Amino acid sequence: MSTSSGNLPPTFDRADGHAVFPNTDHDETARLNFLTGLNVHIGRELSPGVRAAYEQRVRPSFAKTHGKDPSTATDVRKAMLDDPYYQQWAALRRSTQEASQQVSREVALRRVDTLSEAAKALNDGRNTLFLNLDVEIPSYQAAVDNHLMPGSYYTEAKPDDVTAAATYEVSLFPIGGASFGPKGDGGGRAMANFVRDRFPDLNPKRIVDMGGGIGGNTLPLAAAYPDAEIIVVDTAAPMLRYGHARAHDMGYENVNFVQGLAETVDLEPGSVDLIISVMFWHETSTKTVGEAMAHIHSLLAPGGVMLHLEQPNFDKDTPTFDRFMRDWDAYYNNEPFWTKLHTLDVFAAMQKAGFKKENLFDAGTEADIEPGRFQPWSTIVARHRHETKDLGKIGRQLSTLGGYKGERWWMFGAVK
Ligand SMILES: C[S@@+](CC[C@H](N)C(=O)[O-])C[C@H]1O[C@@H](n2cnc3c(N)ncnc32)[C@H](O)[C@@H]1O
């Protein structure tokens, strides 16, 4: 298979392992490599054909019948459903996602005992893992297996199970087309760069990552602020057990993993200097956005910062066709809150939570892959910090809130 650039993604065996990372065998690695490549191929080579099908067939036919172009993403979707190219593209995309998740789940389940033993060996005797099995999985999380990950984040195949987390970490590689870096931490690294550039005087003593999962994107912040106390909050015990063991195996002693809800986690009000989240909000609900933002506001110290990394929201200029494409995951990838979040006014939500309008900011960013790793792939899929030195300076002020263009990810936040 070749992509138009002539470059292929790195192979799965080039991901960085650790003591609880499943060591895949030849066939498992080959499957993951195939699926990584297939995902990239769909994104680069086949997805442009969906736009062509729309422009050349579906839109003209709609306009002929209705006397106008489709004006909403729902109109576009309904019109596209009968198009054979779209049907094949969507079926292939769905089955590639399902296969990526199923293979990752199988890789984890085959090692159910060895993985939990490895995690236990690193977790036992440490006072930085706080599980609370009374924490109730929120109804929105229990309702679906997000992005088709079998059993979601919280299912336990046995006591002390960590396979949900291993599934998650393995699956990030194929579903991200190897674009998150060898440790899957490209988002966290980009945020750490941004915080250092944008808030050079912030010297956080306590940092919290809401919905931090296995802490993959938390660790770059822990590395940037080695004297800070770091707290990963998540609902799902398997993610925390695995993340805690992973962090300790990687040499981090300043990271705590706490089972709790972002909207209620029991920390002292005003005690946190920096609160982050990565790809968290799109897997919650409108109610949780309001409650968790308000809780974050109460937890932050005066002058403290919150910063969230997410998929970009739509703005008034987002074309209808692009809205339809980006809503795909809500319909076919078990991401029920995806579309709602795309149109939610997060700036209004932040103000409702207590943040002042003049203290809000947003910025675009890309995954920051460790320099020298995943070459030449990383130069294709991401802009390197050393190549775009000003990346951290693009945090735009209120005058252009919500108006950034171009980057793959969106950061928004506020100073208390
Ligand atoms: C897409 S994952 C992102 C994990 C991590 N931030 C990362 O970058 O890899 C979303 C995480 O949010 C957690 N989660 C969902 N709702 C939550 C809530 N209300 N409070 C805390 N964690 C939650 C899930 O268990 C899951 O681990």
For the chain, domains (ranges, CATH) are: 14-416 (3.40.50.150)
pLDDT digits (tens, 9 = 90+) for 305-334: 999 999 888 877 888 998 899 899 999 999
Sort strands 129-130 and 206-210 into parallel, antiparallel or unpaired. Answer: unpaired
- CA–CA dist 34, 44 (Å, integer): 15
Give me the residue label for tokens 């033993």.
Answer: 117
> Which has the closest alpha carbon to 197: 52, 361, 332, 11?
361
67 burial via Cβ count (<10 Å: 0-12, 13-18, 19+): exposed
- Which atom of ligand 1 approaches the CA of 288 most closely? 19
Residue of minimum CA distance from atom 13 in ligand 1: 211
Output the CA 345–ligand 1 centroid distance in Å: 21
Is the predicted pLDDT of residue 267 greater than 70, yes or no?
yes
This prediction's pTM: 0.94
Residue of minimum CA distance from atom 14 in ligand 1: 211
Strands in 409-415's sheet, in edge-to-edge order, are 129-130, 255-259, 229-234, 206-210, 272-278, 300-310, 409-415, 360-365
- CA–CA dist 186, 362 (Å, integer): 18
Please give the pLDDT value at position 388.
Answer: 37
Is the predicted pLDDT of residue 403 greater than 80, yes or no?
no
For 77-84, what is the mean pLDDT?
Answer: 98
pLDDT bin (cut points 50, 70, 90) of residue 396 is very low
- Which atom of ligand 1 approaches the CA of 213 most closely? 27
Please give the pLDDT value at position 318.
Answer: 83
Is the predicted pLDDT of residue 266 greater than 50, yes or no?
yes
Residue of minimum CA distance from atom 16 in ligand 1: 284
**Which tops the pLDDT comparison, 133 or 120?**
120
**Which tops the pLDDT comparison, 5 or 258?**
258
The share of the chain scoring above pLDDT 90, in percent, equals: 77
Query: Encoding tokens for residue 401?
Result: 């809130």
For 229-256, what is the mean pLDDT?
Answer: 98
Please give the pLDDT value at position 317.
Answer: 80
Pocket probe for ligand 1: among 234, 307, 329, 368, the residue whose CB has the most ligand atoms within 8 Å is 234
Output the CA 229–ligand 1 centroid distance in Å: 20
- Which atom of ligand 1 approaches the CA of 153 most closely? 25
Count of all residues that appear for the chain in the document: 416
Give me the residue label for tokens 């982050």.
Answer: 276
What sign results for the dihedral spanned by CA atoms 170, 176, 182, 186?
negative
Residue of minimum CA distance from atom 10 in ligand 1: 280
Output the CA 57–ligand 1 centroid distance in Å: 40
Output the CA 215–ligand 1 centroid distance in Å: 10
Residue of minimum CA distance from atom 6 in ligand 1: 212
For 87-111, what is the mean pLDDT?
Answer: 97
> Which has the closest alpha carbon to 341: 308, 312, 301?
312
Residue of minimum CA distance from atom 12 in ligand 1: 211
Output the CA 279–ligand 1 centroid distance in Å: 7
For 22-41, what is the mean pLDDT?
Answer: 95
Q: Which residues pair with 365 in a beta bridge?
A: 409
Q: Which helix (H) or strand (E) holds 98?
A: helix 84-109
**Which tops the pLDDT comparison, 361 or 280?**
280
